Structure 1
Amino acid sequence: MKQTIDDYLQAKIGAEKDFQPDWEAHRYLIRGKMFAMHATDKNGKEILTLKLLPEHGEELRELHKDKIIAGYYMNKTHWNSIYLTENLPDELIKKMIDESYRLILGGFSKKVQREIMEGEV
């Protein structure tokens, strides 16, 4: 999945990608609100940070200890970081990306959600 994570993230409707030099991270945003961050941790390990419902994130961290951790340099309740060098199923990573995208999209008004889904600027 590593080769296609960027493609999968950028294929989300309304997704924009930028590089945050201070964090040395690629961010994936919807109208300026981040739904994913692709970076490395202090040891140089590749991580993908995503927003999840708190109870779902906690459950995944329990099931996949040391592969999914509380958000690296993020709010530990809502954000989770996946170590991409670990062997997690591609489908799990995609579902987590989808959930993060839905949560951020759902934070916009219905009008803005419609504009995003219809590709309006």
Structure 2
Amino acid sequence: MDIEFYREYCIKKPGVTESFPFDNNILVFKVMNKMFALCDVDLFTSVNLKCDPERSVQLREQYEGIIPGYHMNKTHWNTIQMDGTIPDKLFLELIDHSYELIVNSLPKKSKEELSNL
């Protein structure tokens, strides 16, 4: 998986925007102004994704390439190492999961706006 495929996959989701709010290297994807994915565009050695806390524990136990979120809330975020140890299919599923967690947590009005996009 390369960064262009990752970027295209994220940005095609409804209501998603991309920005560099922290510096010129950290690309952040948001849905309705809430973060669901971020990575260093120069290195692309890992990606931070939101995750259900129980699933986070299971994934971390099962895959060495999934660790508690670097510089994030360790309960709700995972860092996915982009070293080839995580299957692309699982990585894409985890992006979807992160996006869906944010969408499901949105207020009713924001969900309605999103459904109209």
Specify if TM > 0.5.
yes
CA offsets per residue over residues 26-72 of structure 1, 9 Å max, x none? 000012210001127xxx5611100000010111111102x111000
Q: Say whether the 8 Å CA contact 2:32–2:110 is kept in structure 1.
A: no
Residue type at the aligned position of 2:90: L
The equivalent residue for 1:81 is: 79
The equivalent residue for 1:13 is: 14
Residue type at the aligned position of 1:33: K
CA offsets per residue over residues 9-31 of structure 1, 9 Å max, x none? 00110000001344831000012
Q: Say whether the 8 Å CA contact 1:45–1:85 is kept in structure 2.
A: no
Gaps of 5+ in 1: none
2:101 to 100, 103, 112: 103
For structure 1, which segment, 69-78 or 80-89, has the greater mean C-alpha deviation from structure 2 after superposition?
Answer: 80-89
CA RMSD, Structure 1 to Structure 2 (Å): 1.7
Gaps of 5+ in 2: none
The equivalent residue for 2:58 is: 59
Q: CA deviation at 1:96?
A: 0.4
Q: 1:72 to 1:23 in 2, by over 3 A?
A: farther
Q: How many residues align?
A: 115
User: How far apart are the structure 2 equivalents of 1:45 and 1:99?
Assistant: 20
Q: Say whether the 8 Å CA contact 1:36–1:97 is kept in structure 2.
A: yes
